[in-house]
Amino acid sequence: MLDANSESTTPEAPQRRATAESMATKQRDISVSEFFAKNRHLLGFDNPRKALLTTVKEAVDNSLDACEEAGITPEIWVTMASTGNNRYQVTVQDNGPGIVKKQIPLIFGKLLYGSKFHRLRMSRGQQGIGISAAGMYGMLTTGKPVRIVSKLSPKKPAHYFEIQIDTKRNHPEIINGKGEGEDIETDATTLDKRGICWQTMYPAEGEKPATEVKSGTSVTIELEGKYIRGRGSVDEYLEQTAIANPHVTIHYFDPDGGSISYSRSTTELPPEPKEIKPHPYGVELGRLVTMLKDTPAGTISQFLTDSFSRVSSSVAKEICDTAKISTRANCKRIGRQEVDALYQAIQATKISAPATDCITPIGEPLILKGLHHVVPGEFYAAATRPPAVYRGNPFQIEVGLAFGGVSAAQKVSLEALTELLSESDARTLRQFLMSTFDGVGSDASERILSEAQFGSRQSPSKLTKDEIATLHAAMRNVNLSEGQTMQVLRYANRVPLQFQHAACAITQSVIATNWRSYGVSQSRGQLPQGPLTIMVHMASVWVPFTSESKEAIAGYPEIQKELRLGLQAVGRKLGIYLNRRNKVKQEGERRSIFLRYLNEVATAINTIDEKHDKTKLYESLLQVAKKKTAEADAKFDDRGRRIEKQEEEDFGEHVLIVNQNEEEGGVTAS
């Protein structure tokens, strides 16, 4: 309210701070590289640890794509070396086809340049940003250029480039060879001088002598990073890559001087995925307008049959008739309203689903092999769903499950634990346990801490040598299989996804599945508990990621449905196995109780009435006990509830049961 005594004042118009003209002077193009340099988190470079992983990942994914496209069984070398002060030099080499000279600067020094964006074909890369963004991050954090060696054949010399990205222009700058790069020999002296490497292949014993890699690409990037093992690390990414790519051999040399090789378990390459044209149902109105503008086709009918999959000339005619447009109408003269009518007509016409030979799933046998190769366990099951379609894009869901096995927390050595603790940036021990070891949830970490008699707020970096030994002993003594949560391995086109679990349709579907009905405990809205590892793979010509860093899959209803069905398929198999296992266990326990007293009962009856022969009595009581235990066991599950008789139920195909009592290799598969 206005004060009656106060003088009424007319408020002065606020002074204009900017005019349309002054604002116009500041408006200009934004280069895509400048945009991503500012928004590096969108590409997975939000912190030094993730930056290191993203760099390795982009280079390895490209190498695998290139080898497969060229029909070469991939062999990859990943080398990481510390160059001091949170700086690392990452080199990834492949035995792929190499890259032609002219293309190298654009691939490594220009964002949004690639061969995969414009085609509908299953591949790991799709955007054309990955490796140039890694190079740009390296340049921004260390000032060092990306170094590339490419060799097309053993007869030709390798070509070497040092490239920087001009972020203002999103354009490559070649530093060496007077802006042309240079041909180099791949001998040790030449390579050492430039701080790069070219690998040697070591064939199996008895075969030809070691030879240098005949063709391929080697990329070296120096960047600011942080090397920490455990969840979300380079080590984990490479291990998970080996699971989903059993045809790949990876040699990994870590910055601490350790090395590991994941050898391929099959030499068979996945079948070559076919490229498809877009399906009419998946094309939005705006895209239809652009396609019509760009098409070389003369008539609408020709445009429809040439540009889309599953559109024959009779389907094209049907679409045109519905849209009330002549099949011979000129594409360039189609007006806005006609495009609208065309779009509506496409939706109203019955067009068969897209061909699905453009996606190549891993397949159930190889999923079992891959999981068993890397995840220890006693029971494995796999399910590959038939292909389905979302927004006109074909996709396929595959699920693998491993049950049993020891948690990573119980396998870790005292030295490795000491190192992990010193590297960790977790603030509390509880946080350290949960973020370092897969499957260790809050329940399990609490139990480890109480066994070791540590407070939950204890800092991991301040532990003495004796305290670390106590923690190590506690990790071994606590039964982790009870408090263990399911480990979920997510894959998109064979690439492991390591971040944004909660935002991903895969994790959401795993949580939404009712695992209790398969005999696994699960709290509402949580991952199930137990020594379980599940791998879920989505193969598609276009994976709908929630962001450019390609970390989580968007939850289209069609994708969610397929995920649910795939998870249920392996869940059912697990349910049958657990049921059987429990029956056997309970039967054994009940029988042993009966057996303990049978002899005494027989002796007592014989004492009361000598007519009854003790041995015969014992034999018949034993028969009854055996029958009774079998019956009783068949009626209850591990939680004492009545269950259906499932003795005859079959697992179906693609199940692997590892007999824990047999020696190594005691594997039965069906």
Q: Which residues bind ligand ATP (CB under 6 A)?
A: 58, 62-63, 66, 94, 96, 99, 107, 114-116, 125-132, 217
- Taking the least distance from each CB to ligand ATP, the nearer of 224 and 548 is 548
Closest distance to ligand ATP from the beta carbon of 142 (Å): 20
Nearest to 396 by CA among 569, 558, 568: 558
Token pair 């049950």 is found at 403
d(CA 315, CA 306): 12
218 residue type, one letter: S
* 230 in a known ligand binding site: no
Q: Which is nearer to ligand ATP, 134 or 402 (CB)?
A: 134
C-beta of 101: minimal distance to ligand ATP in Å? 13
d(CA 281, CA 277): 12
479 φ, ψ to 5°?
Answer: -75, 95
CB-nearer residue toward ligand ATP: 114 or 404: 114
Q: Is 127 annotated as a binding residue?
A: yes
Amino acid letter, 279: H
In the structure encoding, which two tokens stand for residue 149, read together?
């060696």
Residue 55 or 307: the one with the smaller Cβ distance to ligand ATP is 55
The SS3 of residue 614 is helix
| 260 belongs to an annotated ligand binding site | no
Q: Which parts of 127-282 are beta strand (E)?
A: 146-151, 158-166, 171-174, 182-184, 200-201, 211-212, 216-224, 249-253, 259-262
The first and second tokens of residue 394, run together, are 């074909």
Residue 492 C-beta: closest distance to ligand ATP, Å: 11
Report the nearest approach of ligand ATP to the CB of residue 404 (Å): 36
Q: Which is nearer to ligand ATP, 65 or 423 (CB)?
A: 65
Give the residue with the Cβ less far from ligand ATP, 159 or 369.
Answer: 159
Does residue 538 come out as left (phi exceeding 0), alpha (psi in the -120 to 50 range) or beta? beta
460, exposed or middle or buried, with CB in 10 Å at 0-12, 13-18, 19+? buried
CB of residue 107 to ligand ATP, shortest distance in Å: 4
Q: How far is the CB of 661 from ligand ATP (least distance, A)?
A: 46
125 marked among binding-site residues: yes
Q: Residue 170, annotated ligand binder?
A: no
Question: Which residues in 221-235 are b (16+ Cβ under 10 Å) and which e?
Answer: bbbbbebbbbbbbbb
Please check whether residue 385 is in contact with residue 509, taking contact to mean a CB–CB distance below 8 angstroms: no
Output the residue with the shortest Cβ distance to ligand ATP: 125
514 annotated among ligand-binding-site residues: no
- Cα 95 from chain centroid? 23
List of residues 6+ apart from 224 with CB closer than 8 A:
48, 51, 86, 87, 141, 142
Q: Alpha-carbon distance 595 to 403, whole Å?
A: 32
46-77: burial string, b at 16+ Cβ within 10 Å, e else: eebbbbbbbbbbbbbbbbbbbbbbeebebbbb
Closer by beta carbon to ligand ATP, 509 or else 549:
549
Cβ proximity to ligand ATP, 99 vs 146, nearer residue:
99
CB neighbours of residue 428 within 10 Å? 17
In the complex with ligand ATP, the residue whose CB is nearer, 96 or 377, is 96
Burial class (CB in 10 A: 0-12, 13-18, 19+), 564: middle
- Closest separation in Å from C-beta 114 to ligand ATP: 3
- Residue pair 421/468 in contact by the 8 Å Cβ criterion: yes
Q: CA-to-CA distance for 607 and 179, rounded, in angstroms?
A: 106
The answer to whether the annotation marks 126 as part of a ligand binding site is: yes
Instruction: For residue 195, give every residue at least 6 positions away whose Cβ sits within 8 Å of its Cβ, in sequence order, or none.
Output: 89, 147, 220
Q: Which is nearer to ligand ATP, 218 or 484 (CB)?
A: 218
Is 511 annotated as contributing to ligand binding?
no
Q: Which amino acid is at 390?
A: Y
CB of 470 to ligand ATP, least distance (A): 45
**62 carries a ligand binding annotation:** yes
* Run of H or E residues at 508: helix 505-512
CB of 127 vs ligand ATP, minimal distance in Å: 4
* Under 8 Å between Cβ of 223 and 141: yes
User: Which residue, 62 or 396, has its beta carbon nearer to ligand ATP?
Assistant: 62
Give the count of beta carbons closer than 10 Å to the beta carbon of residue 619: 12
Is 436 or 493 the residue whose CB approaches ligand ATP more closely?
Answer: 493
Residue 128, annotated as binding a ligand: yes
Q: Is 326 annotated as a binding residue?
A: no
Q: Scanning the structure block, which residue is given the tokens 């045809």?
A: 247
116 annotated ligand binder: yes
User: Quick one: DSSP state of residue 375?
Assistant: S
Give the residue numbers of the binding site for ATP.
62, 94, 115-116, 125-132, 550
As annotated, the binding site includes 62, 94, 115-116, 125-132, 550
